[in-house]
Chain A
Amino acid sequence: MSDVTDATTGKRAPTPDDALRIADSKQGGPVLAADGTPLKRSLARALRVQKLRALALIAPLLIFVLLTFIMPIADMLFRSVENSIVSNTLPYTTEALADWEPDTGEAPGEEVFQALYYDMFLAAEAKEHTTLGSRLNYENSGISSLFRGSGRSVDDVGEDQIDMLEDQGEHWEDPAFWYAMMSGDGGATDEGILQQQRQRLANLTSDNFGGEIGFIPGAEIAGILPRTVRAYTAFALFTAIADEDVVAEEEPWEAVKVALIEDLRTTDLSGYSGPGAAELQEAQGALADAEPISYRTAFEGMDKDWADSDVWRTIKIYSPAYTTGYFLNAIDMQKGPDGPEARPENQQIYIMLFKRTLFMSLMITGSCILLGYPVAWILANLPARSANMLMILVLLPFWTSLLVRTSAWKVMLQQQGVINDTLVWLGLVADESRLVMINNQFGTIVAMTHILLPFMILPMYSVMQTINPTYLRAAKSLGATNWTAFWRVYFPQSVPGIGAGSILVFILAIGYYITPEIVGGTTGTFISNRIAYHISSSLNWGLAAALGSILLAVVLILYWAYDKIVGIDNVKLG
């Protein structure tokens, strides 16, 4: 075929590709700068100062965002899996529970209860047992009161045996005697036990238990009376650091004496000649005939729930430092004997709330598109003067407090409100069957559409402004009707604006809190209201964090899907 260009110039018109092709053909060995260094390095050096300056300019914001946004969110998200409270409060119990099989349906054996005694005693002294009780109460209601009650009466365990010990002489109630015995006679010391107990207390109370306490356990006595030394060291640390008393002047806790009684039952004192050797032998002889302390009976005496294997299963399930429990809870599941299982029907709420949140956010986004598109179109096609006037009307809601606007909707929509009154007055609605338009989904959708509408109109407007009206003329001149010209030519070009507006509105809506709280009633609340409840009322931050994480994941997934379907480079804010 003969060509128009051939006739005149005899060559093809240049295309943008030509420049690239020419650039490619020039390759071959690195290009050098005037001083012989490779051009790339030269360029990098020249640009470095510029880059550093740019970095310095954004540094304040970067640091601010990092400190006030990224780190708190990361910390919050971490809470959704973090669960070290159980193993920190009950270190020996969780260790002893490792061998226990929950499936037997029986409470664990004596050694677990003994470990529980030491853990519970220290936790009660540090007043941390109630915190753990509340934590486990999320998973198994009733545990809170079980822990609170047991913490009160744990002092009474082994009362009889302690009395028998103290009957052996005043020295068993003498702080100095205990201190001397536990310190040894200046021989080898056991720093290891001290470090262990420091760590245990630090984990338990989240305080710093470092520093000098005026006591180091003796190595010899630690070999003979391990439980006693361990308990005494914990006592010494707590006394010196938490109570700020002198260790040698305070009588040891009951737990130390119980530990001694326990140690004396099995230990061999024959080779020991350190401080208190005679008294120990005397006590061992006197207590030989005494009944052994039954920890299990003691705990069951405090609360019969300790015999319930369910309680123990809960403790065992939540003993690892990290748990999926919060997340399972957030999707209406729980940890059962055979792994995750659905919660009972009457406790399921979160899935429904998530679905409702998504549904209503989509409804709100949809209403905003329907209401906002024509407005944006008018704004973009009016002369600048009238457009500015209209723009002020669009922005007017921003100048009013969110609470005022939401409350105004309450006034408008309630059963004795303006709209219902008008309808009744017009005779369209009977007085006894006034419309229910508030405290339900309808009210939330109406109020939130109104509040979020500007966020839809503004990006749409700025995109539509860039669409040259000539396109519509061109389409019409090519034979398209008004509708075809709009739908095939104008609308596709305005999609980036719709995209930007939708993302803005949807993401704002999905996490909205105040408006659903005020006008949502029970059926119009969002997942965010539940998160707020767990943050401020039930104090189950782990669950709140899990719900928040899921919400974040859902938004990211939707964003990803949007990118796949529409393409994120199709989003324009102007």
Chain B
Amino acid sequence: MSLRAMNHRNPVATHQNLRLGFDIKRRRPLRKKHNGEIALAAPNGNDAFVEFERVQKSYDGETLVVKDLNLTMPKGEFLTMLGPSGSGKTTCLMMLAGFETATHGDIRLDGVSINNIPPHKRGIGMVFQNYALFPHMTIAENLSFPLEVRNIGKSDREEKVKRALDMVEMGDFGGRRPAQLSGGQQQRVALARALVFEPELVLMDEPLGALDKQLREKMQFEITDLAHRLGITVVYVTHDQTEALTMSDRVAVFNDGRIQQLDPPDVLYEEPKNSFVAQFIGENNTLEGTIKEVNGDIGLIQLDDGGLIDAKLINVSKPGERTRVSIRPERVEFNRDRLQEGVHTLKAEVLEFIYMGDIFRTRLRVAGNDEFIIKTRNAPDQVRLQPGQQIEIGWLPQDCRALDA
């Protein structure tokens, strides 16, 4: 969980100052709600805060955009829905927010089915892709809006607005209009607005999509930091895998209307459960072949050009089955001394060497695949491979995953 640890660099000491009315330790939801909102108490007492149960969604009655979605989130989790466009992740978010209705299945918030609760009574904070700050209101009025519709008194309102603006470092901008702010500032205000009425669940629909890279990285940190300090539950939608990996407690990889894998970022990266996830998350080398022998969870794979390798069997098991093996570029070893005794190796030809500063990136031809990449750390004793060089490569069997073809 190294990624997680990085995000928690910020000491816990700041918690005392930055509460926005939340009690971080409080695990029970708010019972007293304004504006006739449903009291979202958890009668079942289990840890599930957000639940999707067998949820399906179809727009045209012919094709399913979301197919049989099951998902359970505990309170305080930062969950990211990651997937290519059209994979159904935004539809899921919209169903949770209440802007789309599920065609089938049940969505529960703190144990209560919210299928028939209109969006404004769900009490879910939401940050939109284009921020959706009301252009005719000042920043302070934007933040005051959710409090006004909840009939909160003026002095209370001002207090909360001020706190929320200070929280996102925008305390001096209350009198401005959204158009007078830069993208990053609008993003902060949108965040503050989604948080100012103290929701326990906040949805974010690609909130950083419109920012440049540097600002995006900064905001990624700020958002996760804030979410963890406030103890709110966040469902975050993105198609940027780096964003998903760096920010989330767990990532749900969507494709074709289904969750392909739901795991913490490190598990997702290191142990993809199928070839879609392996391809989609991070860089990956693939080789195709057939299972020749099975030895426990390690299989001997015969590649299509005849080469033999060892691989961990993930979702294939029988000899003779077609498989696609996947190896991360940084797990490939070409120094014979460091390879385990007796492992199978493959012959490779160096095609290209790219110097990238902190790492070297080398493109090889392996078993007929011209796009085989290896990455090596730039260390003093590191070998710089030359194009045309013939080498032998290998890896630990558990780093090579045999997946569905």
Contact = CB atoms under 8 A, between A and B. Distances in A.
B18 A468 contact: no
Interface in A463-496: 468, 470-471, 473-482, 484-485, 488-489, 492-493
B150 interface: yes
A482 B119 CA distance: 10
A206 interface: no
B132 A479 contact: no
Contacts of A14: 182
Given A478-B145, A479-B146, A473 B120 contact: no
Interface stretch (A3-11, A119-127, A348-356, A434-442): A3-11
Interface in A1-46: 1-5, 7-9, 12-16
B132 A1 contact: no
A470 B185 contact: no
Interface string B16-56: 01100000000000000001010000000000000000000
Interface string B118-146: 11111111101110101110000000011
Contacts of B225: 4, 7
Contacts of B136: 492-493
A470 B122 CA distance: 17
B132 A474 contact: yes
Given A4-B222, A5-B222, A13 B169 contact: yes
Given A16-B180, A475-B145, A493-B136, A8 B222 contact: yes
A480 B145 contact: yes
B218 A9 contact: yes
B184 A479 contact: no
Given A477-B97, A480-B149, A13 B182 contact: yes
Contacts of B128: 470, 473-474
B185 A4 contact: no
Interface residues of B, number: 49
Given A7-B225, A470-B128, A479 B169 contact: no
A8 B221 contact: yes
A488 B14 CA distance: 36
B134 A489 contact: yes
B103 to A, nearest CB: 20
A3 B146 CA distance: 24
Contact of B167 (A4, A468, A470, A485): A4
Contacts of B210: none
Contacts of A5: 169, 218, 222
Q: Is the interface of A mostly helix, strand, loop or mixed?
A: helix
B112 interface: no
A478 B185 contact: no
A15 B167 CA distance: 17
Contact of B181 (A9, A16, A474, A488): A16
Contacts of A468: 130, 132
Interface string B167-194: 1110001000000111011001000011
Contact of A493 (B125, B135, B203, B222): B135
Given A476-B119, A480-B145, A15 B132 contact: no
B287 interface: no
Contacts, number: 108
B168 to A, nearest CB: 7
A537 B18 CA distance: 81
B99 interface: yes
A478 B169 contact: no
A205 to B, nearest CB: 64
Contacts of B182: 13-16
Contacts of A15: 173, 181-182, 185
B197 interface: yes
Nearest to A4: B222
Contacts of A482: 120
Contacts of A481: 120, 149
Contacts of B126: 473-474, 477-478
B246 to A, nearest CB: 13
A103 B146 CA distance: 76
A1 B166 contact: yes
A471 B146 CA distance: 13
B20 to A, nearest CB: 11
B99 A7 contact: no
A132 B9 CA distance: 98
A482 B121 CA distance: 11
Contacts of B166: 1, 3
Contacts of B145: 475, 478, 480, 488-489
B335 interface: no
Contacts of A471: 132, 134
A16 B126 CA distance: 26
Contacts of A485: 120
A484 B149 contact: yes
B405 interface: no
A56 to B, nearest CB: 36
Contacts of A475: 134, 145
Nearest to B185: A13
B114 to A, nearest CB: 13
A473 B119 contact: yes
Nearest to B188: A13
Contacts of B226: 4
Contacts of B132: 468, 470-471, 473-474
B35 A479 contact: yes
B149 A478 contact: yes
Given A4-B169, A5-B169, A7-B10, A476 B120 contact: yes
Contacts of A484: 149
A479 B10 contact: no
Contacts of A480: 120, 145-146, 149
A334 to B, nearest CB: 51
Nearest to A474: B132
Contact of B18 (A2, A9, A12, A492): A2
Contacts of B184: 13
Kindly name the residue among A5, A471, A478, A481 whose own CB sees the greatest number of chain B CB atoms within 10 A: A478
A471 B121 CA distance: 17
A480 B149 CA distance: 6
Contacts of B118: 476
A480 B166 CA distance: 24
Interface in A85-140: none
A497 to B, nearest CB: 13
A471 B150 CA distance: 18
Contacts of B122: 477
Given A4-B169, A15-B182, A470 B130 contact: yes
8 cross-chain pairs, A with B, having the tightest CB-CB distances, nearest first: A474-B132, A478-B146, A477-B126, A476-B119, A470-B132, A2-B14, A492-B136, A480-B149
18 contacts: A1-B17, A1-B18, A5-B169, A8-B221, A13-B182, A468-B132, A474-B132, A474-B134, A476-B98, A476-B120, A477-B97, A477-B119, A478-B145, A479-B37, A479-B123, A479-B149, A480-B120, A493-B135
Given A471-B132, A478-B126, A488-B149, 17 more contacts: A1-B17, A1-B18, A3-B169, A4-B226, A8-B218, A13-B169, A13-B182, A473-B126, A474-B126, A476-B99, A476-B119, A478-B146, A478-B149, A480-B145, A488-B145, A489-B145, A493-B136
